[in-house]
Chains A and B, each alone.
Chain A
Amino acid sequence: MSVVRAAPADPAASDGWNGRANPAGPARRWLRQRRREHRGQVGNLYFLSLSVLVGIAVAAGTLPRLLSGPGRVADPTAAPPLLAVGLLGYALALTCAARFGPITATPATLAWWLAGPVDRRALLLPGAAMVLSVAAVVGALHGAFVVTVIGAAEQTAAALMVGAGIAGGVLTGALAVVVQTLTDTSAAVLERVAVLLGAVAAVLTMVRTSVPAVPAWVGPWGWPQAAGDGQDGAWLLWAVAMALVLAAVAGWRLDRLPLRRLAAGSTLGAIVGVGLVTVDPGIASRAAEERRWATRPLKGGGLPRITGPRAVVGHDLVVARRSPEHLLVAGATLLLPTLLGVLTGWGIALAAGWLLSGLAAVAPSTVNARRDRDLPALRRLLNLPGPALVGARSVLPTVLAVAWGAGAGALLMARTPGAESWAWPVLGAAAGPGLAAGALRAARRGAVRHELPPIVTPMGVLPTGPLHWTATGYDIAILFTTPTLAALITGAPAAMILPQVIISVAGVVTFVLLAGRVDRSR
């Protein structure tokens, strides 16, 4: 065995046990060089360059139109729901930050590099820069959304709104990093802040009040609106300065991060990485689910004493009781259709938002159906006929979907009064079984089918397996909820109730029978 390159001697550290950290540069350069030697860069460069060019072209095509859009007459009643959208976005971003750290590192870097006497701040700086960049992009998207909803009189005003969004994103990202450097309970802190933001968003969704101007002090989630209100812009300079100072503090405190605060995000990052490398998100989601259960105390009682297929339903109920956070997610997704209804009106955006929110709300209740499908050994242990097992597994998702549909419809009825508004909760409940069938099909889709033929495009070969995997579930959810989607586009729900009931019932029965037959043959 040969050593590829000898370690450089550092005269300043010749006693071997001094308390100074080694600079990260030499090892980083060495690693970069070895990686370059091991994999072709040409393909990556081509793909990266083309992606950047396409991104620039898209931005060049849409940004001027976005930024020069005519200013609409300000609708004071739209301010609270728009602020609620910002709050929900920040709640989602903070939840992701809590899961990943937000600063993290690969398991190998954690084990062999960060554990060594190397300058920890220098090693973690690229990760921090990545976190702040993502936060800036999220903030910019928030600002752009606000511009599209309320419009801007001139390009400068639009740019200020997007800039305020970026400042808000960077400030929040830097704050999350600082919290991570301060306490071992940073994930719990960030999650609680996210829950609080979600609760405020819920209140704002239901409030019917006129707010002529959103003040900057409400927080970064309101900054694009505050910038769009045309107030004195001095606060924006302060906001930018505050964001930059916090980013500097976050970078300065990176060497105070112990390994234990990087480990949890590292494991999750590795799981997500496996999903990306294998282009199989199913593997990643199964591993993430196992990790989630391995790191939490079990609460919510034991299995109910019932037998036969009903025991399977009892299993689903126990899992639901042990995952109260899923109810919070379902609650948050209830708000989105109403917010879209208020802000964008009837149309495809509302229909798409309703479908995505509904599937997101029901998906957590289908984890056991996914395991039954993925692990035939478990299914054989249960020894139930295929349709009976699939039917039992569809009970809880169907009940949840019916409740979610009714709830989302009730919120929509409350915020969009009209002659037929009474029909929204009924139509939503009727669409529940269709949504549940879609969520169950998505859960049972298994691994990505890499044997499907690829499509050759100018950007390279596009594998259709992942596309097929992504679409599976949404296909029959769209099919089985077509009347509701049509009603959300046209704003006329009453006539769609009967067709929706028929399609939902027929759809879920067909799905259970067909899926059960497939299981029996495997």
Chain B
Amino acid sequence: MLLESRDLSVGYRGKPLFEALRMDVDFGEVLVVTGRNGSGKSSLLRCLAGQQRPLAGAVTLEGEPADDRQPRFRRSVAALLDGGAWYPNLTAAEHLSFVQLVNAPMPDGWFTAADLAAALALDGFANTVPGQLSSGQRQRLAVAMALARPSRLLLLDEPERHLDEPGRDGVGRLVTEYADRGGAVVLVTHDASLAAGPGRRTLALDRDAGAGPAGTSEQRTRPRGGAR
């Protein structure tokens, strides 16, 4: 099992947004996380990325605790949280190159910049700096950057933000292809078409339901009131 959470409780200042979450995500799976605003979807992703300490419980990646201080963990997990951030003096193409340089070496057969540019229609603004891009173009670039770096677990927080229909379709296809190549995806989304891709399981954070079809693991959440 690639990603596991056991009795996970996530919240702020001691107040849980949800408690006792148990979930497993294996290689090649896409887990779609849904829920009302403030139910803790983004906080869950930050916990899975090792960037937020849970109130209780544990997250493990291949049996090791999620800890972003470990290079092995950082080499395995790619995350797009909070809509991305930019170097104002690099073009879109240079951002992609920079991410691949930081995450070298690239495994054989990984997404190339050309693959991503074609899937997300980046060609039109490859030599433009982020400050001159529309919010939708910046979101396409952010998704491309998250996929440009080699990883085994991809965490995406509402990647459909600001995207038109072709953009959402492109993201959907890339997520499917990532999983087909053996990677695991945890996808937070409010977009029905993204959530309804082939073979996807669903974890609803705002009801007592588990994560999709019965698997080998038990999924259970106890949501709490209060929004953030």
Report whether chain A binds chain B.
Answer: yes
A residues in contact with B168, CB < 8 Å: none
CA distance A256 to B69 in the complex (A): 6
Closest to A270 in B: B85
B226 to chain A, nearest CB (A): 12
**Interface residue tally for chain B (C-beta within 8 Å):** 53
| A260 beta carbon closer than 8 Å to chain B | yes
Question: Hey, what's the 0/1 contact readout for B130-163 against A, CB within 8 Å counting as 1?
Answer: 0000000000000001000110100000000000
CA distance A257 to B67 in the complex (A): 10
8 A Cβ contacts from A21-46 to B? 21-22, 26-27, 30-31, 34-35, 38-39
CB < 8 Å: which of A16, A22, A34 contacts B94? A34
* Partner-A contacts on B (CB < 8 A): 13, 46, 49-53, 67-72, 74-76, 79, 81-82, 84-87, 89-90, 92-107, 112-114, 117, 122-123, 126, 129, 145, 149-150, 152
Say what secondary structure dominates the interface of chain A. loop
8 A Cβ contacts from A90-129 to B? 106-108, 110-113, 115-120
Closest to A17 in B: B75
CA distance A14 to B108 in the complex (A): 10
CA distance A118 to B101 in the complex (A): 10
Q: Is the CB of A19 within 8 A of B102?
A: no
B138 to chain A, nearest CB (A): 12
Q: Is the CB of A4 within 8 A of B99?
A: no
B residues in contact with A13, CB < 8 Å: 104-105
A residues in contact with B90, CB < 8 Å: 31, 34-35, 38
User: With A34-B90, A260-B52, A260-B53 known to touch, is A21 a contact of B71 (CB < 8 Å)?
Assistant: yes
Q: Is the CB of A4 within 8 A of B97?
A: yes
Q: List 26 A-B contacts (CB under 8 A).
A: A2-B93, A3-B93, A3-B114, A4-B94, A16-B106, A17-B76, A19-B75, A21-B74, A22-B71, A22-B103, A27-B98, A27-B102, A34-B98, A108-B87, A112-B145, A115-B49, A115-B74, A116-B75, A116-B102, A119-B71, A120-B69, A256-B69, A258-B67, A259-B68, A263-B51, A297-B13
A residues in contact with B99, CB < 8 Å: 112, 116
Q: Is the CB of A30 within 8 A of B75?
A: no
Q: Is the CB of A10 within 8 A of B105?
A: yes
Q: Is the CB of A116 within 8 A of B51?
A: no
CA distance A193 to B53 in the complex (A): 25
A residues in contact with B100, CB < 8 Å: 3, 7
B residues in contact with A297, CB < 8 Å: 13
| Beyond A117-B103, A258-B68, 4 additional pairs, beta carbon < 8 A | A3-B112, A7-B105, A31-B98, A255-B69
CA distance A119 to B104 in the complex (A): 12
Q: Is the CB of B113 within 8 A of A19?
A: no
B48 to chain A, nearest CB (A): 13
| A8 beta carbon closer than 8 Å to chain B | yes
CB < 8 Å: which of A1, A34, A107 contacts B113? A1
CA distance A5 to B100 in the complex (A): 10
CB < 8 Å: which of B81, B101, B150 contacts A16? B150
B residues in contact with A3, CB < 8 Å: 93, 96-97, 100, 112-114
| A520 beta carbon closer than 8 Å to chain B | no
User: With A1-B126, A7-B100, A117-B103 known to touch, is A19 a contact of B71 (CB < 8 Å)?
Assistant: yes
User: With A5-B101, A13-B105 known to touch, is A108 a contact of B86 (CB < 8 Å)?
Assistant: yes
User: With A5-B97, A117-B75 known to touch, is A22 a contact of B69 (CB < 8 Å)?
Assistant: no
B15 to chain A, nearest CB (A): 9
Q: Is the CB of B50 within 8 A of A258?
A: yes
Closest to B82 in A: A111
Residue of B68, B105, B129 with highest tally of chain A CB at under 10 A: B105
| A184 beta carbon closer than 8 Å to chain B | yes
